[in-house]
Amino acid sequence: MSEEGNIKKFMFVNRKAPYGTIYALESLEVVLITAAFDQDVSLAFLDDGVYQLKKGQQTKGIETKNFSPTYRALEGYDIDKLYVEQESLEARGLTEDDLLVDVTVMGRKELGKLMGQQDVVLSF
């Protein structure tokens, strides 16, 4: 949809847990649209945002849509830059095996450096 010169680096910073608030779900909707505009899209998961990727979410009891399968669908939109902060995972007793998609786990400093290189950082 956009010309070569108009490709920007968009990073979506996810710092909130799913279900307690809607930000994670509605953020994903923006991610998909941004990919449709042929932009350079990456997602960062830190703080409680890492919980968005936890395997085994079952939302029948809270009568809410389980949107976690959408993370698995991202690959189909050529979105494969998913960065997870090591320190946030560890603080929550989680490892890469607990996550429902393939991600790149990196230390806080490396993630911070990546943020600094973006054109647009969106957090909700």
Partner 1 sequence: MLHIINKSPYTNSALDACLRVAQGGDILLIEDAVYAAVGGAAEKRVRDAMKQFKFHVLQADLEARGIADRVIDGVHKVDYGGFVELAAKNKNCQSWL
Partner 2 sequence: MKFGIVVNEGPYQHQASDSAYLFCKAALENGHEVFRVFFYHDGVNNASRLTEPPQDDRNIVARWSKLAEEHKIDLVVCVAAALRRGIKDENLAPGFRISGLGQLVEAGIQADRMVTFGD
Q: Which of 5, 56, 69, 76 binds partner 1 (CB under 8 A)?
A: 56
Neighbours of 74 (CB within 10 A): 19
Q: Are 9 and 40 in contact (CB under 8 A)?
A: yes
If one asks whether residue 62 binds partner 2 (CB under 8 A), the answer comes out as yes
Residue where the block lists tokens 């994670």: 24
Q: Which of 23, 77, 98, 114 binds partner 2 (CB under 8 A)?
A: 23
Tell the smallest beta-carbon distance from residue 77 to partner 1 (Å).
Answer: 23
CA distance 108 to 55: 23
If one asks whether residue 39 binds partner 2 (CB under 8 A), the answer comes out as yes
By CB under 8 A, name the binding residues for partner 2: 2, 6, 8, 10, 19-23, 26, 29-30, 33-34, 36-37, 39, 62-65, 119-124
